[in-house]
Structure 1
């Protein structure tokens, strides 16, 4: 590896509006996924699988992947940047897949500390893989050099954040608790991403890159944000309506049981 003093590194800065937007998406996606996993409780079979898949898309695709690419676009350089469509799609598959695996494993043994740790490690490593696959999707005339300490720190943050997110998902009830947890999860997700970004230094290599054949960052970012927000809002509306319906059904069942007890009592003169 070349010494940093020998490199002509590329200047970069952040668009703080997009950084704030990435945090908002992370929090909203986390809140939606917590509600979906709340709806999953007490279900079995195909219904349970449907809840898991929905939660995996909300957390992995919405909170994590969408936040990641908005954060990537917030990283501004004086060099044209495009994105490989194939690697970008692969990073989405990784994010949704590992989150789904983590939720599925913990749903089988919710009270097992060992399963929580295993699911957290698998999910955390997957989230880190998603991040660095997304980084590799960047097409520009520069090489990426990583700081080993910050690189390792980003992976540790990803594992801790994933483990905490899975625990919260299966141990919270109230909406205010879930909102507070969503903020914490948003901080953790952004912390992993921006630590990973801090770990990289862009070194111009002078190569000729055809940016025209890739996806423009702003176009990609707007599409991802709008599509993800639409799915998250629809998922949240459906989930809350299902939870409300379930609450009414349980209330009606309790009333029916009380009526049966009253009828079954003998009449005393």
Structure 2
């Protein structure tokens, strides 16, 4: 339901593109780790692979992308973020990705298994986003268009299922890149549809903005740390794959 006095969120195109690139890089790195889950030897190695892939996907591709995308949203309102709720949004993203990738990487890679895995990941993306939105401290209240909320969740789930099917059924760099591009659509499509669903109504309560983390500082810090970690993990993954290929020879 539209509101006449709602503050509009205008997105910076360059930051929108940056947020998508971060989600694709994170997804590509995480999926490189995830496809090694079925080949893991022993329970400890398997769960180590699941944790690494889930942390990179949830933390790098989803959570980091969310806060970079929030920087892209320009509003005539001061905004900061509640630390506890922000941390909870990260836990939701990482935990749901760990569960989803654990399901996807176990047993036969049929549509039923990948559908369930994609639902966990898609709902995790959705849950992270709306929890992250709840962390916003500002002199305004947020109202949601329920139709667009449902659409945002649907985008996340469907694209996650397709991305997992591509990753676990088609091998090779081009196929993996395609999977990462689709996963980026899941994350970004969900986020920006979710932002369209939100109306920000000023309420004049300046106290609601006190005590939080500055949004710009938080976003740029997350971007710098996540980019460095993703680059390092991706490089390590590539080196390990080449080492395994040499061993086979």
TM-score bracket, shorter-length normalisation: over 0.9
- Once the two structures are TM-superposed, the CA of residue 12 in structure 1 deviates from its matched residue by 2.5
**Secondary structure of the equivalent of 2:10?**
strand
**Does 1:97 find its partner at 2:62?**
no
**Does 1:40 find its partner at 2:27?**
no
Indicate if the aligned counterparts of 2:139 and 2:208 stay in contact, CA closer than 8 A: no
Indicate if the aligned counterparts of 1:102 and 1:119 stay in contact, CA closer than 8 A: yes
**Corresponding position of 1:199:** 197
**1:176-204: CA deviation from partner (whole Å, max 9, x where unpaired):** 22122222221232111100000001011
Indicate if the aligned counterparts of 1:56 and 1:96 stay in contact, CA closer than 8 A: yes
**Corresponding position of 2:24:** 27
**Corresponding position of 1:82:** 80
- Once the two structures are TM-superposed, the CA of residue 4 in structure 1 deviates from its matched residue by 3.9
Return the alpha-carbon distance in structure 1 between the equivalents of residues 178 and 81 of structure 2.
Answer: 34
TM-score, length-normalised on structure 1? 0.87
The one of 6, 11, 19 equivalent to 1:9 is 6
Indicate if the aligned counterparts of 2:19 and 2:66 stay in contact, CA closer than 8 A: yes
Structure 1 gaps, min length 5 = 252-269
Indicate if the aligned counterparts of 2:90 and 2:128 stay in contact, CA closer than 8 A: yes
Let me know the Cα RMSD of the aligned residues: 1.5
**Corresponding position of 1:240:** 238
**Does 1:68 find its partner at 2:66?**
yes
TM-score, length-normalised on structure 2? 0.94
Q: List aligned pairs for 1:1-269, cutoff 5 A.
A: 4=2, 7-45=4-42, 46-209=44-207, 211-251=209-249
Indicate if the aligned counterparts of 1:102 and 1:166 stay in contact, CA closer than 8 A: no
Indicate if the aligned counterparts of 1:83 and 1:217 stay in contact, CA closer than 8 A: yes
Indicate if the aligned counterparts of 1:143 and 1:202 stay in contact, CA closer than 8 A: yes
Return the alpha-carbon distance in structure 2 between the equivalents of residues 74 and 226 of structure 1.
Answer: 16
**Secondary structure of the equivalent of 1:213?**
coil
Indicate if the aligned counterparts of 2:33 and 2:53 stay in contact, CA closer than 8 A: yes
Return the alpha-carbon distance in structure 2 between the equivalents of residues 164 and 4 of structure 1.
Answer: 33
Indicate if the aligned counterparts of 2:166 and 2:175 stay in contact, CA closer than 8 A: no
**1:222-262: CA deviation from partner (whole Å, max 9, x where unpaired):** 110011111111111111111111111111xxxxxxxxxxx
180-189 or 49-58: bigger deviation: 180-189
203-212 or 129-138: bigger deviation: 203-212
8-17 or 152-161: bigger deviation: 8-17
**Corresponding position of 1:264:** none
- Once the two structures are TM-superposed, the CA of residue 11 in structure 1 deviates from its matched residue by 2.8
Return the alpha-carbon distance in structure 1 between the equivalents of residues 53 and 89 of structure 2.
Answer: 17
Indicate if the aligned counterparts of 1:110 and 1:170 stay in contact, CA closer than 8 A: no
